[in-house]
């Protein structure tokens, strides 16, 4: 959730800089937005990969609960990456 808030703050800074003509504030907002978005997508990709591993492990040992948890983590990671 923190990355989403930082992304929103960056968007607000960028917008305010654009409206007021403050190029520095606009650029700072763009950097903050891009940084937060990159962090969110990276976390999502890692969660998705971890979920895939957990799913495979559950399938390998025949544990349906572990397999289902892996699928859920994979979907959560996919959703985080999508935004």
SS (H, E, C) the chain: CHHHHHHHHHHHHHHHHHHHCCHHHHHHHHHHHHHHHHHHHHHHHHHHHHHHHHHHHHHHHCCHHHHHHHHHHHHHHHHHHHC
pLDDT at position 26 is 93
> Taking the chain (83 residues) in consecutive chunks of 10 residues, what is each chunk's mean pLDDT?
85 94 94 94 95 96 96 94 83
Tokens describing residue 61: 């040992």
pLDDT at position 1 is 61
Range of the domain at 20: 2-82
pLDDT at position 41 is 93
Other beta carbons within 10 angstroms of residue 61's beta carbon come to 9
The whole model's pTM is what? Answer: 0.76
Query: Into how many domains does the chain fold?
Result: 1
């Amino acid at each position: 959730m923190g990355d989403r808030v930082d992304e929103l703050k960056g968007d607000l800074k960028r917008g305010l800089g654009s409206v007021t003509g403050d190029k520095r504030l606009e650029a700072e907002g763009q950097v903050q937005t891009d940084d937060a978005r990159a962090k969110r997508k990276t976390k999502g990709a890692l969660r998705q990969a971890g979920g895939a591993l957990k799913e495979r492990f559950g399938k390998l040992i025949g544990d349906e609960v572990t397999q289902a948890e892996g699928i859920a983590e994979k979907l959560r990671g996919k959703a985080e990456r999508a935004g």
